[in-house]
Amino acid sequence: MAKAPKNEGRTIADDIAENSAENTLALNPLIGVRSQDLVAAAGTVMKALASHPQLVAQQWMSFATEFGKIVGGQSDIAADPKDRRFADPAWKTSGIHKALMQSYVAWGKAVTDLVEKTDLPEKDAARARLMTSIFVDTMAPSNNPLLNPTAVKAFVDSGGKSALNGLRNFLDDMTKNGGLPSSVDVSKFKVGENLANTPGTVVFRNEVLELVHYTATTEKVYQRPLLVVPPQINKYYSVDLSPDKSMIKFLLANGLQPYCVSWRNPTPEQRDWGLDTYIAALDEACDAAREITGSDTVNIMGSCSGGITLSTYVAWLAAQDLKKVNAVILAVCVLDTMAATDNDFAALVTPESVMAAKQMSKARGILDGQDMAKMFAWMRPNDLIWNYWVNNYLLGNQPPAFDVLFWNADTTRLPARLHGDFLDLIFTNPFMNPGKLSINGVPIDMRKVKHETYVIGGTTDHITPWKAVYQTARIYGDKTTFILSNSGHLQSLLNPPGNPKAWYVKGVTKEKDADAWAAGATKHEGSWWLDWAEFLKARSGDEIGAPKTPGSKKHKPLGAAPGTYIFEA
């Protein structure tokens, strides 16, 4: 396998796996990219450029001037040192490759600056930036097998074997992976064996979910359970990956009792399952956890769309004055849909695109996870397409064997009605506008929700930006504890103790502005998991003897973890 030039002992696959783990489907945009949207965006760009001939001429002359310097060996322009596409020393030491790299960087900057300087309306400008970034990334010389020096070296060193392996990988992906480069070597993992393998038992099952109770590893446990609500658009075992990064194992080691929801993977037969269906199923799971443990209330945790579901549930309970929940934990979850408009995905959201997305899933009965994955990949092409293109095809390597990427590729579906319900939230923004959402006739009003709350965001999370997650914390009150973890979307959660680079910022949400909060909050070295464990212990009741058998007389064991729903393709 070709080695990354500047990182001895690590392969290129290792590097792309680590970076790609930051780009997961955990809150994948639910709005598809329509061909007419792309054509319209391209047309908008061309029209804007045609109306600014002087600007086009200026940018072209600027590029031409820089190109003259590049040809004469006088240019100082260089790629970003963090850009792994140009990590091979040949991009600096070889005259030809250096000129290629510099020309590409200069051209990409000229194109990007040109689009930035056009006076397009905000929405059109966002779409133009998105289209331009995809186009510029696609044209990188590192994607070309004849121009990429690492690929050329691999071809020579292997006697052409790398090219044959790459062709084999390409043909496999054309037939088995929908035409996109594979992101993970799936042969290295098996759910229930080296993933999602913490001992436990399914203690409750309905049509929508299974409830997994994990086997205690301490002699005593805290009585109040923690009910974990994962996103519906992923399988639940992100909280129970390999032993060294399993949230479940960490909770068990601290004497806590995790009960985890495993959502069923719906088919077109379940097309009419909506948010109300999931709330009713979650309520049954909550009652089962309460009955088995003998606790009047549960602590409850949700991430991403699971946090949306959780928040709807606690508001539904509050509206009926039902006391089933004690403390709330939310991770990388945006409730205020107007607070997350400064990212690439916002450019796709229009009434027309939302309606088209709803009509498509309604016609099929489901929103397929593979379709979501393809669309999401083109939102982050360098990390989710071209990295693998180079590794798998140009170098002839196998994709990385990384547990997070296996989980990310193990996609699920959404029922058409639930998909429509989530899309409706974009414009009704019900967590900020009481009464805009009702569950079985019960209006949702977050002002009635009164729970101690702990919210986590990630510093480099581009899917649920941390400042938008901070506003989620504010919705729960100005005494909410907010944790800002130093990583991206999923990696900010999979942050076990022992990581020497880990740190987090902690404070209550009394400030309206996220930057003002950050200025006054306290930075801590290490993993936020340790702080989280103390938060939970203080709110989990008395310590009691660990249960000797799973379930109860009412809720008998139904089978071993990770259950059956997780295996439904």
Catalytic residues: 304
What tokens does 215 get?
Answer: 């086997």
Q: Compute φ and ψ for 257, nearest 5 degrees.
A: -110, 95
- Give the CB-side neighbour count of residue 542, counting CA atoms within 13 A: 5
Residue 321 identity: D
Q: Are 28 and 372 in contact (CB under 8 A)?
A: yes
What tokens does 553 get?
Answer: 């007389």
Q: What are the CA-CA distances from residue 412 to residues 380, 385, 458 (Å)?
A: 20, 20, 24
What tokens does 235 get?
Answer: 């399988």
Q: By CB neighbour count within 10 A (0-12 exposed, 13-18 middle, 19+ buried), where does 498 fall?
A: exposed
What tokens does 248 get?
Answer: 């479940």
Q: What are the CA-CA distances from residue 496 to residues 19, 189, 282 (Å)?
A: 18, 21, 28
What tokens does 268 get?
Answer: 């077109």
Nearest to 290 by CA among 275, 300, 280: 300
> DSSP readout, 143-166?
GSTTT-HHHHHHHHHTTTHHHHHH
CA 102 – CA 116 distance, rounded (Å): 21
Q: What are the CA-CA distances from residue 145 to residues 125, 141, 167, 568 (Å)?
A: 33, 9, 12, 39
Cβ-based neighbour number of residue 129 at 10 Å: 18
Contacts of 131 (CB under 8 A, 6+ apart): 38, 41, 42, 45
Q: Is 185 helix (H, G, I), strand (E, B) or coil?
A: coil
Q: Are 545 and 532 in contact (CB under 8 A)?
A: no
Residue 112 identity: T
CA 159 – CA 502 distance, rounded (Å): 43
Nearest to 304 by CA among 378, 414, 230, 367: 230
C-alpha of 466 from chain center: 13
Write the DSSP symbol of residue 181.
P
Q: What are the CA-CA distances from residue 535 to residues 159, 261, 472, 552 (Å)?
A: 59, 22, 19, 28
Per-position b or e across 54-77, b if 16+ CB within 10 A of its CB: ebbeebeeebeebbeebeeeebee
What tokens does 20 get?
Answer: 């790609």
CA 228 – CA 77 distance, rounded (Å): 50
Cβ-based neighbour number of residue 224 at 10 Å: 24
Write the secondary structure of 474-499 as one string of H (helix), E (strand) and C (coil).
HHCCCCCEEEEECCCCCCCCCCCCCC
Adjacent-strand bridge partners of 221: 544
